[in-house]
Chain A
Amino acid sequence: MENSDEALCRRVAERDEAAFDLLVERYRERAWRLAWSILRDAEAARDVSQDAFIRLYEAAGSFAGRARFSTWFYRLLVNRCLDHRRRNRWWRLWARDEGEAPGGETLLERQPAPAYDPGDALSREQAVSALWAAVDRLPPRQRAVVTLQAQEELSTAEIADVLKCSQATVRVHLHRALKTLRRTLEKR
């Protein structure tokens, strides 16, 4: 049996649970990483990454197979990331797990503590921390574009597909984002 992502998605449309499990297995890490990168909030990323798979299960029949499955799935996921504030929050209130630490830490707190090693390595590490802290402060769509480009290594055409906008728009988002990031580094 063919096990490409696209073939699995067609099987999910026929309510094949094993195919769904395989796609979850293949894409859950990417979904989690991408949702977290865009939202910078562990609980929201958890919610949205699960949401994307629920949507995948329900909408698998509408996957036309013209695009790559990964692009289609990224679109489900990124749309949910960008919308998440507008969505109904009942589930999170209902299923909040007290056993888990809240995901409110900042990016800087998550960075490993810099070694006491004055010089290039330290200043470089600080520069990288400042850079990603600046990515955190970008508007959501710009952050999504930077993340899809730097982290998922998608081309401009693929990012346009994911965000359902023109390549020119992606270029403008990326240009603005990089300009902001550059200014941040130069100010240091």
Chain B
Amino acid sequence: MNTATAARVPFEPWKDPQAKPYIRIVNVTKTFGDFVAVDNLSIDIYQREFFSLLGPSGCGKTTLLRMLAGFERPTSGRIELDGVDMSTVPPYERPVNMMFQSYALFPHMTVEENIAFGLRQDRVPKDERNARVEEMLGLVQLSKFAKRKPHQLSGGQRQRVALARSLVKKPKMLLLDEPLGALDKKLREQTQFELMNIQEQVGITFVIVTHDQEEAMTVSSRIAVMNHGRIAQVATPTEIYEFPNSRYVAEFIGDVNVFEGRLSEAAADHVRIAPVGGGGEIYVDRGTSAAQGATVWAAIRPEKIDVALTPPTDPSVNCIEGTVWDIGYLGNLTIYHVRLADGRKMTAAVANRTRLREQPITWDDTVYLTWAPDSAVVLVS
């Protein structure tokens, strides 16, 4: 795409103890009657971040976003933006804009008027207003459609109008509630990259709500995985994927094989896990916080598992034997569902690097599943 990407310094303010959080969500709880939608939640978000709230439907993502926008008041806790407590500031006075899930375009106004609306409220002089609207129209490539009404636009165009309208006031924070949810898959993927480019150009802090884990992985600087109104984990996409902190996160993000087991050896730099169902011990070359003898789970991503018809020559490598139960050919990948001796199933995803394997693996073959010591993650909850 662009050559600047390669030279970019890593953007990781959350690792810098000197950096001041831009948005602080402090012990925020929101209840509707007896129902706790957001439960004592705290997050720090840094300037220019592209921060995702990810979780299944109903876990409180929209509620949290609406509290950031000012449409809901926290039952307790506080929200600070750039050092200012926002708790009692009404939505029309917050330096925050939101892009709504339904886009919420004003049906009786043209594209141009929709985008200009926010500037009109601030009594921005006409010349400047026109210039900024034009700039936004250019940014989202809708200059040709300025005079159209929302109903004369396609879904993708409406989405871009909504984006332009919420960016034109240069808010300190832009909130996006499932911004791409209404687009079809192809357009969605393309728009994800556009959204990232736009965010980089305007330099505004984005907080996006999504239930689509691939989307969150693609666009985010960091992801907060939510579960029943609480934070399960906040980390970068890579960390979330490679080092989930719980079975909930591991299973929510992508596919994963999870073995329950007992921690038979817990050293500082490695552990061994004896699986509950029997079979060989699993060796992981990282320490864990759990004590020896504790129940833990080993999580292994399917693409980190290799499938072979012959046992590995090195006996120290992690290996489990099983029979092929089902094969799914996806073109770029082949998915093997393997049944182990104790009846459990494991999934392995193998990249199809060559056209055809010399010796194809087929149904009911006995296979050996192997993975490296650094491929598994030990989960304590």
Answer whether A and B are interacting partners: no
